[in-house]
Structure formats: C-alpha cells, structure tokens
C-alpha cells in the first residue's frame, strides 16, 4: 500500500484511486463509502488515511488563474508549491512565504496549518482567500474569506470534504539572500530571542540542543537592491563568509553565502529539483506562544542528552497570529519547535511524551500532520475553537464520509 514521502508511514486504506480531474473526485465521492484526500504524502501519521478509498489529487490539472487586480492566484489543491511559485515568478508575482519544502502540495499544507517562517509572516493557510471543495454530497462548494464557516474550513484536515482548488494572496516578485550566523550561545539567544528572530524577513535556527551554542541561525533577508548591506554580527555570533550549510554538507539546499536570488529559490530550504529534506525520517513539531519562547526552549534543552542520539536536527521558527480556528498560530504569535528524527520509531515514540510534558505548561499545540501523542482531551485544552470546528464538520458531513480513526482520536470528528 501507499507510504508517505519519507517511507516511514504506511497507509492502511484498502483502495487508492488516482483522480485525473475534479469530475473524477466528484464521482469517487458520490460512489459512497468513506473517502479521504491524499496529496504529496508529507504527513507522518495516519491523518490522511481511511478505511475506504484514498483519492490522490496530485494529477489534477493545476488550472492556474491569475487575478492581477485582486492580487490573487487560484490553483489546484494537488499542485506543489514549487510549481505554483515557478508559474508566478514567470509573470512577476510572488507568494508571501513558503515552507521549507517546495515539494508539498498546496491543499495539504493549508489543511494542516503548515508554515514557513518570519515574525510577520503567518502560516501558509493565512494567505487563503477562498477555497473550493467536494462535499459529502459529491457537489462542489465554495467558501470565501468573510463567510461564517471560513475560519473552520481553511485548516480543516480533510474533515469535511476534499479541497480541489485554493485562491491565495500574492504580491509583486522580490529578491532574497540567505546568510548563516554561528557562535550564538544559548544564553544570548534566550535573553534576546526577539532580536534573533527579527534579524531577517525569515529566520530559521537549526539546533541539536547542545550545551553552549544554539547552532546555526539561517537569516533570509528581503532585498530592495542586491547590494543591500547585512550585519556581520548577530547577538554574540558572527556571519559566516563561506558557503557552509547548516545541514551538514547537504547538496539539496537552496543557495546560501549571501547570494541574492528570487524569492522562490531562497525562502524554501530545499531545492524543488532534488530530494526534499533527508528522507527516511520522522518529524514532530510543537507551537508555543511567542511570549513563552525562552522558557519553552529552555525546558526542551534540558532533555537534550536524550534527544540527540535520535535527532537529525531541530529547527526553530516563528509565525504571526491569525484567526483560523485550528491554526497552530490561532490568536497568538507562535514559535515552532520542530524535530527531524532518524527513523527510530520506538525511540521517537518514547521521547514524545517527555517533550510534550516539558511543553505542557506553555499550552503547546502539535503540528497536525506530524508525529505527536495528543488526544481529544489534550487538544481541547490548547485549541479553544476545536469544539466549534468539530460542530461545523459534523454539520457539513453528517454521515461521516470523511471521518477516520485519526480525526476521531484528536477530537476533530465524532466517532461513527
């Protein structure tokens, strides 16, 4: 059966259907039984699974539609962000932000609250102005920003239908450079975390929770001109003048060493034309209130000795608050604490409870598509609109066509 892109999770659905068109999706839904959408398979759990039919939407025509006056683009939900970015750049337009991997499909990333980085940049879902989905009745439905259900449906986890197209805000194209800063101590980082994450348009910190140094700060600067100056220092660290990567000599990362380039080749960490990330990996991620960043990071750092043997790297990022009910940044500026693990499933499973316990005092919210141990009770405590979102999904799908075990376990749908 199908696996996720990293090969570390196998879906249990008895049937996989590949949709070549929106009409195919409608027919498959109308045929009856449980269904769920499958995109580029970047979830690390059974979130996209079903005991019925998985519908792969990645072969549907992107059907790009640019509205320059409104500054929006409409695109098929199965389209990869990198493909959309190339199409926009050719026409002089850009997305506000992108995730680490341009390989992820638009609909899946939005439905799970996936994000890029930047103090003033929201999660990718925040750029949505409208979406179209196939509902339980097999018909097409549209929802737009301002509609009553919109805040529940954007980060919707496939719980109410299959999203087939999305309309996103865009802006004129821009250029970015990436610089690496090293030598920043934990003491300086925790005391000046706001200064650290505001050092660029987008800032990622790669750490292995070592005792002294926080690791690498990867600063992406939005440029007015290619010769805009950047600082040689950041807190108590310094800018590297060479091209050393914070990802251990990997060749699939986007260009570093301060070389200016278009947004789509700098905002993601990884190149679209190469394997994303490390492969053969498990991922986890938790979001805390930005106000709690220093205390939350210090709490996780205490677990560093147990984490490091099973960790490839952690990444620390930020996201601006939004009004989407199941967003990890709902009504609070967020700091994301990400773990890319070696494929050590038993060890990772044993590590997640102490990490979650360390983050519990800060109301941490897990990434919906990554490995975590939260259940309905735990998620009700940290997502104040979970019950409201659940009520919307139950109303739109009363027969439970889009219900699966994962959605019941995390309290997004009621059991059937």
174, with CB counted inside 10 A (0-12, 13-18, 19+), is middle
Read off the tokens for 279. 């492969």
Cα distance between residue 215 and residue 213, in whole Å? 5
Q: What pLDDT does 145 receive?
A: 98
Instruction: Tell me the HSE value of 143 on the side-chain side, using a 13 A CA sphere.
Output: 22
Q: What pLDDT does 262 receive?
A: 96
Q: What pLDDT does 273 receive?
A: 76
Q: What pLDDT does 274 receive?
A: 72
Q: What pLDDT does 111 receive?
A: 97
Q: What pLDDT does 247 receive?
A: 55
Largest CA distance in the chain: 62
Give the single-character DSSP code of 127. G
Instruction: Judge whether 254 and 271 are in contact, CB under 8 Å.
Output: yes
DSSP 336-392: EEEEEEES-HHHHHHHHHHHHHHHGGGT-EE-TTS-----HHHHHHH-TTHHHHHHH
Query: What CATH number belongs to 65-173?
Result: 3.30.465.10
Q: What pLDDT does 391 receive?
A: 98
Distances (CA, A) of 294 to 18, 196, 218, 322, 336: 46, 12, 19, 22, 12
Q: What pLDDT does 359 receive?
A: 98
| Intervals of CATH 3.30.70.2520 along the chain | 175-366
| Intervals of CATH 3.30.465.10 along the chain | 65-173
Computed on alpha carbons and rounded to an integer, the radius of gyration of the chain in Å comes to 20
Q: What is the pTM of this model?
A: 0.95
Residue 36: enclosing H or E segment and its boundaries? strand 35-38
| E strand spans, 69-169 | 72-76, 93-94, 128-134, 140-144, 162-169
Instruction: Judge whether 34 and 402 are in contact, CB under 8 Å.
Output: yes
Left, alpha or beta for 128 (phi > 0: left; psi -120 to 50: alpha)? beta
CA proximity to 335, closest of 190, 135, 159: 190
Output helix, strand, coil percentages for the chain, rounded to the nearest 5: 25, 25, 45
Q: What pLDDT does 272 receive?
A: 75
Q: What is the domain class of 175-366 according to CATH? A: alpha beta
> Could you list the mean pLDDT of each consecutive 10-residue stretch along the chain, which spans 416 residues?
83 95 98 94 93 96 98 97 97 96 93 95 97 97 98 98 98 96 96 96 96 94 96 95 59 84 93 77 97 98 97 97 98 98 96 98 97 97 98 98 97 96
Q: What pLDDT does 200 receive?
A: 97
Cα distance between residue 106 and residue 119, in whole Å? 22
Does the CA dihedral 116-119-123-124 come out positive or negative?
negative
Instruction: Judge whether 254 and 101 are in contact, CB under 8 Å.
Output: no
Instruction: Judge whether 168 and 75 are in contact, CB under 8 Å.
Output: yes
């Amino acid at each position: 059966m199908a696996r996720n892109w990293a090969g570390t999770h196998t879906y249990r659905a008895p049937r996989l259907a590949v949709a070549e068109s929106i009409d195919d999706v409608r027919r498959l839904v109308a045929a009856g039984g449980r269904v769920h959408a499958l995109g580029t398979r970047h979830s690390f759990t059974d979130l996209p699974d079903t005991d019925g039919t998985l519908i792969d939407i990645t072969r549907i025509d992107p059907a790009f539609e640019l509205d320059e006056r409104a500054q929006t683009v409409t695109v098929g939900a199965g389209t990869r962000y990198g493909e959309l970015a190339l199409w926009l750049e050719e026409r002089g337009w850009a997305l506000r932000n992108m995730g680490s991997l341009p390989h992820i499909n638009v609909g899946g990333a939005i439905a799970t609250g996936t994000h890029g980085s930047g103090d003033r940049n929201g999660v990718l879902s925040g750029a949505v102005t409208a979406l179209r989905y196939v509902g339980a009745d097999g018909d097409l439905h549209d929802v737009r920003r301002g509609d009553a259900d919109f805040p529940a449906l954007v980060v919707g986890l496939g719980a109410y239908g299959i999203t087939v197209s999305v309309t996103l805000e865009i802006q004129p194209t821009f250029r970015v450079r990436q610089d690496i800063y090293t030598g920043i101590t934990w003491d300086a980082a925790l005391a000046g975390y706001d200064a650290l994450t505001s050092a660029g348009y987008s800032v990622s910190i790669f750490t292995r929770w070592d005792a002294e140094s926080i690791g690498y700060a990867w600063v992406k600067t939005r440029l007015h001109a290619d010769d805009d100056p950047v600082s040689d220092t950041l807190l108590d660290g310094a800018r590297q003048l060479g091209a050393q990567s914070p990802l251990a000599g990997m060749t699939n990362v986007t260009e570093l060493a301060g070389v200016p380039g278009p947004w789509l080749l700098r905002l993601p960490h990884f190149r679209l034309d190469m394997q994303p990330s490390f492969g053969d990996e498990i991922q986890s991620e938790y979001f805390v209130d930005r106000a709690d960043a220093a205390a939350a990071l210090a709490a996780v750092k205490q677990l560093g000795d147990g984490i490091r043997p099973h960790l490839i790297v952690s990444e620390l990022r930020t996201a601006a608050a939004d009004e989407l009910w199941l967003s990890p940044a709902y009504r609070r500026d967020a700091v994301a604490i990400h773990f890319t693990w070696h494929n050590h499933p038993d060890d990772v499973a044993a590590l997640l409870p102490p990490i979650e316990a360390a983050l519990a005092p800060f109301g941490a919210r897990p990434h919906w598509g990554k490995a975590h141990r939260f259940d309905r009770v735990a998620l009700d405590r940290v997502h104040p609109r979970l019950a409201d979102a659940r009520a919307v999904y139950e109303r739109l799908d009363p027969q439970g066509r889009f219900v699966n075990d994962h959605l019941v376990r995390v309290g997004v749908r009621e059991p059937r």
